[in-house]
Structure 1
């Protein structure tokens, strides 16, 4: 049985281009982001990957990327399930702020703590721990059962919701997962064993490295 799970970060969004804390703000892809989603499709085709089901967030940059990937792979008929559990981390009061402006306002150390700690949240927002608390139940109850019954599964989501999944799949500690980087257009491919552990893992970075 092919228990395949592919994780993809969306293409560059308007928020990425402006270097803002996008978080839960619903922005679309830039022209570069559309091209990055197309590149994801090409790289997956080169690996002879096909899908039976796809999961994505309710934020436009993710589901738009998901649709582009599947369409460019000739798999537009694959069912796409959008769920807010996969949405990006809510940055609270930081949402919409330019990251350099935030550093000027609160200081480099404080902004770094909000961005890269596991359990410290910005004012009015979520920590990575909070994000994981909504991502992981959806993974365990919905995504993982699909993979284990042999549905070749695509997940297109966001840096922090994907970190939450990688933490479980790769058995990373909270301290380690905060350093995991997911650039726009990066791909993590997994094959799971019958006991749900990872049997095979491969990474295809948007930068061209593997």
Structure 2
């Protein structure tokens, strides 16, 4: 009886050890997605692609810093537009003489000063992030785990079945999810990376 039990345990252990990377990924992804889906039981995996992950571009820290840099670039563009509008308003209300025009001019100037300061701070942060990213890129490329692209179907809160897609980063042993990203967000990140590589 003990031999039979031991044999069953060994077989189970071997089966778990021999599970493919896709099987391991699918199991953990299903657990992760079912925590956030409107109708967890409607989850239906469609496709899973497993690839090796390397520094720096698959490193979650690098991804996070790059997305921060992208947000700062968007903010700087907004500040530039606000500064331009404020300068236009200042020109319009300058030297008009009335109390109303002086008040309008001051409001425009305050807007100009605030956006100019915000722009300066954003540029400083962007430069710092750029330097940090460059240091990470200068380091030797290292294997850090596995990157998984996963497509699935699931029902939304209205009962409609929709497709979803996410990118997951797993550790070297495929035992845990290190990071996950919305697919569209990750595509934006990839386009930024292509530009970074093109500049070097």
Query: Which structure has the highest strand share of the two?
Result: 2
Structure having greater relative contact order (Cα 8 Å, sep ≥ 6): 1
Query: Which structure has the highest helix share of the two?
Result: 2
Decide which structure has the larger Cα Rg and report it: 2
On whether the aligned pair clears a TM of 0.5, the verdict is no
Q: Please, what TM-score do these two structures have when normalized by structure 1?
A: 0.23
